[in-house]
Structure 1
Amino acid sequence: MTTDGYPPPPQNPHLPDGPGYGAPQGGPYGFPGQGFGDRGFGDQGFGGRTPAGLLPRLGARMLDSLVVGLPMGLLTFVVALSTHSFVYDLLMSALTGAVAFGYWTYFESTRGTTPGKKLLGLSVVAPDGGRPTFEQAAKRNAFEALQILTGVPLLGWVADLIYLIVCIGIAVTIGQNPSRQGFHDVFAGGTRVVRS
């Protein structure tokens, strides 16, 4: 009998006794000192920092979209009042897409967070736990560049549809991935959004 009143677990006669043999040692999943949440995915994986869930990330994305969208919407409105032509529509959609892509890429690569993420206590980390490189930030936000095509007839609605599908795909993969990484994080080499 063991100290808790239960008989000891049976030993496999074909395996020697000792660490790593027989009954699992350590944490509840057989990994020394590690449970599901401690193996790099779950609640405390990334250097002690908790991965951010879908809702805070969505809130941060909406705040950042306002920061980008309001000035660009105002500029587009002013341009449309002064002159309305196909060329200016193309120019404004290209400018809006470039600004959106540049905004997220710049802030994540230079600060590790965007204003919206910072307001909600979130930051983006590279696979090594540091700040993402410019390339990693550009890859994880590449889908924002789809907005460049929104002013092109026929191609614009296809770009909008692809953008929507990508956003839904990111949300689904964040929800299903134990480390709360969207496929854009995986595409960027393993970036993560964590609580600061």
Structure 2
Amino acid sequence: MNDDPTTEILDATYQALCKHGYAELTVQDIAAESAMSKASIHYHYDSKDDLFVACLESLYDRYTAHIEAAAGETPRKQLRSLLELLVTDTGEISGTEFRTAMLELKAQAPYNEEIQDRLVEFDAVLFERLEEIIEAGVSRGEFTDRIDPSVAAESLITTITGAQTRRVAVDYSTEQPSEMMTGDIETNLLTEMTVEGRQ
């Protein structure tokens, strides 16, 4: 058992959300995923919505840590590492559980401003990281200077989001979108010198 009751509750919320979805989820379901009672959970959080906002904040911390940890000696390698982390089925933030939890929470965003605000933060941190990598690649001559880093980042986010949603909703393989994005990088971002040298 975790010594911090709020951490235990948020971990249980995450697990219960993946199992039951948002609409059907009850505080009893969350209690069943932990050693805590319904009364203890209500003591820390007034409502289910409060729980989900707190859960999103916890997921955000994990998400940003993994985004920043994308490794690579060059911008090209960093970009590939980040895309693999986000789209394939390896890693803590790319597995089915995380994607399912995020999709459930995204479905509530039009009806809950706090959840929407937290999801905007997820989107912003990914955009900033992608833009940063692409700008570095342009500065180093690894990516072509004909591209606008912000437009390229937005395009990649759209593809990533679609791939993640299809994976959860229809069990679509992540291999094809991963290969497609790699192909887009080779075609649209890399300079001729980088392609020839395979940096």
> Same fold, TM exceeding 0.5?
no
Indicate the structure with greater helix content.
2
Q: Which has the larger radius of gyration?
A: 1
TM-score (norm 1): 0.32
Indicate the structure with greater strand content.
1
TM-score (norm 2): 0.32
